[in-house]
Amino acid sequence: MTGSFLEGWLGGAVLTSTPIFYAALGETIVEKAGLINLGVEGTMLVGASVSFAVASSSGSVLAGLLAGMLAGGLFNLLLGPLVIGRGANQLASGLALMFFGMGLSAFYGKPFVGSSLDGLPSFPIPWLSNLPFIGSILFKQDLLVYLMIPAAGAVWYLLSRTPWGLHLRAVGEDRLVAYAAGSRTVLLRHQALFLGGVLAGVAGAHLSLAIAHTWTEGLTAGRGFIAVSLVIFAAWSPLRILPGALLFGGTLALQIQLQARGAQVSPFLLDMLPYLVTLVVLVLLRNSSRGRMPEGLKEVFESSREGK
Amino acid sequence: MGEARNLRFLGWGASSVSLVLSLASALVLFSVLLLTSGKSPLDTYASIFGSTLGNGFGFSEIFVKMIPILFTALAVALPARLSLVNVGGEGQLHLGALMAAAAALAVGAGTPPWVGIPVTLVAGMAGGALWALVPAILRAKGWLNETISTLLLNYVAIRVVDYFVFGPLRDPSSSNVPQTMTFAEGFRWPAFAGRIHLGIVFALAALVLFAVVINRTRWGYEIRAAGSNPLAARRHGLPVTTYILVVLCVGGALAGLAGTGEIMAIQGRLRPGFSPSYGYLGFLVAWLAGHRPLRILFMGFLVALIATGGDSLQIDQGLPSATVNILMALILFMVLADAWRPDRLEARIQAWLDRKSRGTP
């Protein structure tokens, strides 16, 4: 491997992992509240299409980003009446949401297919970006890339150090006890869905505004599902999302990099590694990772096993 | 006796009315959505339903799409009766197709159909079952929940197929397109009435078998009992662990047949991305149907109809074919949320019947 290949790959890895990171960070909040949204893919598509449409109509990337965030949050709230209001099966509801997002973004995004945009500019950090090797990998990226670490810290602080986060986690562990203790369980879970959707909207916006610079149908190409896997990989910790996202994004970027160079090596075996690692880690650490999984989620995964 | 039958009929009637109302409200919501962006709902519905229900070839295409959906729905419904959640239909479908393709390519040309077709059947079922075996063992040991493991293995399966299609199984003569060689005639599943193929016979047979085993045999009774109360079932000495392994692997085998049918009857060779999320569609159909055989048939038909109608939207209306996903999702929302609650409808119908029998307006 030459130096420029490594540099290209690692720089690409950081960029590729960004949308996966934001989507998984949002999904962590949702899952901490004892809910699971299997349809992150759909929320990301809505965020990506709306932010691109608004950015290219208004000419303002910031307006596009904000619109994508709002759209993602509102779109996620659709799950509320289903899984909170009616107690519908969460996995099926999430998949329905995914199909909804695929349809809506294809339908409303059609006029924008094929147009392109400068989008989110890269923002080289003075001096640091001139460093050899790591300069271009870490410090010649866009603002959303730099915001990953603060965002992870903020979500960690929100969940573990604020009363709101405490209540939210209590709802995710046992919502009846939380309710008895005076938490507004219905409101809290809707707030979690909204916040998760906002972050999935950021993820979608980064994909269309910063990576693709365009909108096409099905732009996310499975990254929403990667985000769901990543939450499990990170054992529901917002701080472990970033290294996980770099691993998942790194293998994805390697595939892109190899294909761009016309390499005849198959990257697919490498590509499946993150999933297998997640599986093995979950099995090996089954006792401790089961401990980290919000109790309310076990109810979803083990639907009627408790005789309900 | 008559009273009991009346009550059962009432319950059935209420849930049918509820379903019809759900479908109708989804159609209305979709119309509103189309109107707000200046599209004509009438033209759109004419295109979706006209191209499928009003046209011989379109009608047969519904059944073509229904075949894999029925298989993947059964792959979810059977484990669900034991309270197991198999989200891995997509992966099991891919592995089934891969094994069937590998078997067909290995056994080679000149194989007569009476050997070739059973070979694809066995290989396809084995591939799907093996892919489900890992989650089944992990679940039976109590090491990892099957929901997570089957979901994660979906992505692995798709990449395993990519690996073989880009690598060892690639047709050397097609340098641009990654795909296997076409399968020899003896392995191809014959089609009749358009593209409806042999798979529909297997799918319907599997559906009937599922209904009989679950409702009419001791196994089915024990599976349902263990599903509703595993602890009590274990105390009564039921082999719950064996059942976990069996239902997940049989489910995987069925999903494997979905993939086998797609490549042996429709595609003729294995390509990446040959499944438009049939595994996930089957999951939704199974949940919509409450894992019951007759309803799986109905919901499978409905979902297949909408998916087929999407293809014509692109041609007739210039709309992306994914637009039908909106309609599909709206129906799913309505049914999943029980938007028109059958219990309330039942009470209303009962009250109406009472008033009528008393002769008061």
CATH number at residue A176: 1.10.3470
pLDDT, tens digit, for every residue of A69-122? 999 999 999 999 999 998 888 988 999 999 999 999 999 999 999 888 888 888
Residue B29 has pLDDT above 60, yes or no: yes
Chain B closest CA to A99's CA: distance in Å?
A: 5
Please compute the mean of the pLDDT values over residues A161-181 and round it to a whole number: 90
All structural domains of chain B with their residue ranges:
1-39+328-361, 62-318
In DSSP notation, A237-249 reads -HHHHHHHHHHHH
CA distances (Å), origin B132, targets A282, B138, B264: 17, 10, 22
Percentage of chain B beyond pLDDT 70 is: 96
pLDDT for position B291: 92
Contact A304/B228 with Cβ under 8 angstroms? yes
Secondary structure, 3-state, B199-260:
HHHHHHHHHHHHHHHHHHCHHHHHHHHHHHCHHHHHHCCCCHHHHHHHHHHHHHHHHHHHHH
Cross-chain Cβ contact B147/A91 below 8 Å: yes
pLDDT at A308 over 60: no
The CATH H-level (homologous superfamily) assignment of domain B62-318 is ABC transporter involved in vitamin B12 uptake, BtuC (1.10.3470.10)
Any CB–CB contact under 8 A between B234 and chain A? no
Residue B203 buriedness (CB in 10 A; 0-12 / 13-18 / 19+): buried
Selected residues 8-47 of chain B with any CB under 8 Å from a CB in chain A: 33, 37
With beta carbons less than 8 A apart as the criterion, state whether A103 and A49 touch: no
When pLDDT is averaged across residues A253-274 and rounded to a whole number, the result is 73
Domains in chain A: how many in total?
A: 1
Q: Does B338 touch chain A (CB under 8 A)?
A: yes
DSSP state for residue B143 in the 8-state scheme: S
Integer Cα distance of B181 and B179 in angstroms? 7
Write down the mean pLDDT value for chain B.
Answer: 90
Nearest to B104 by CA among B119, B125, B126: B119
Listed range (A7-21, A233-247, B5-19) with the worst mean pLDDT: B5-19
Q: Is residue A63 part of a domain?
A: yes
B177-187 tens-digit pLDDT? 889 999 999 99
Residue A247 in domain: yes
Banded pLDDT at B4 (limits 50, 70, 90)? low
Q: Are A82 and A88 in contact (CB under 8 A)?
A: yes
Non-local CB neighbours of B248 within 8 Å, separated by 6+ positions? B79, B84, B86, B132, B133, B135, B136, B139, B146
Task: Tell me whether residue A307 is in a domain.
Answer: no
Residue B360 pLDDT greater than 70, yes or no: no
pLDDT on residue B152? 87
Q: How far away is chain A from the Cα of B148, in angstroms, using its nearest Cα?
A: 8
Assign 3-class secondary structure to A2-50.
Answer: CHHHHHHHHHHHHHHHHHHHHHHHHHHHHHHCCCCCCCHHHHHHHHHHH
* pLDDT surpassing 90 at residue A181: no
Q: DSSP letters of B160-201? A: HHHHHHHTTT--TT-SSS--PPPPPGGGSPPB-STT-BTHHH
Which has the minimum average pLDDT: A283-297, B23-37, B65-79, B262-276?
A283-297
Answer whether A22's CB lies under 8 Å from A206's CB.
Answer: yes
Lowest mean pLDDT of A46-50, A93-97, A176-180, name the range. A176-180
Are the beta carbons of A279 and B85 separated by less than 8 Å? no
What the block records as the tokens of A205 is: 């916006």
Which residues of chain B does A226 touch, with a Cβ-Cβ cutoff of 8 Å?
Answer: 155
The residue in chain A having the minimum alpha-carbon distance to the alpha carbon of residue B277 is: A99
| Mean pLDDT over the full length of chain A | 88
Q: Which of A43-52, A252-261, A293-302, B149-158 has the highest mean pLDDT?
A: A43-52
The answer to whether the beta carbons of residues A218 and A45 sit under 8 Å apart is yes
pLDDT band at B2 (very low <50, low <70, confident <90, very high): low
Distance CA A280, CA A265 (A): 25
Rg (CA), chain B: 22
Query: What is the C-alpha to C-alpha distance for residues B332 and A99, in angstroms, rounded to an integer?
Result: 10
In a domain, A272, yes or no: yes
Predicted confidence at residue B90, as pLDDT, reads 95
Tell me the mean pLDDT in the region A251-256: 81
Q: Residues 312-331, chain B: which have Cβ within 8 Å of A?
A: 319-320, 322-330
- Can you give the pLDDT at residue A303? 53
Which of A112-126, A264-278, B60-74, B186-200 shows the highest mean pLDDT? B60-74
> Taken in order A249, A252, A255, A256, is the CA torsion positive or negative?
negative
Count the Cβ atoms, other than its own, within 10 Å of residue A277: 15
Over residues B235-263, the mean pLDDT reads: 95
Distance from CA of B116 to the nearest CA of A (A): 30
The confidence band for B198, taking pLDDT boundaries of 50, 70 and 90, is very high
**A308 part of a folded domain:** no
User: pLDDT at position B1, please?
Assistant: 47
ipTM of the complex: 0.90
User: Nearest CA of chain A to the CA of B286: how many Å?
Assistant: 9
Domain span including residue A239 = 3-301
pTM of the predicted model over 0.90:
no
Does A261 have pLDDT greater than 80?
no
Query: Both tokens of residue A63?
Result: 């307006």
Q: What amino acid occupies position A69?
A: M
pLDDT band (50, 70, 90) for residue A3: low
Q: Does B332 touch chain A (CB under 8 A)?
A: yes
With respect to residue A306, please indicate whether it lies within any of the assigned structural domains.
no
* CB-closest option in B167, B231, B325 to A99: B325
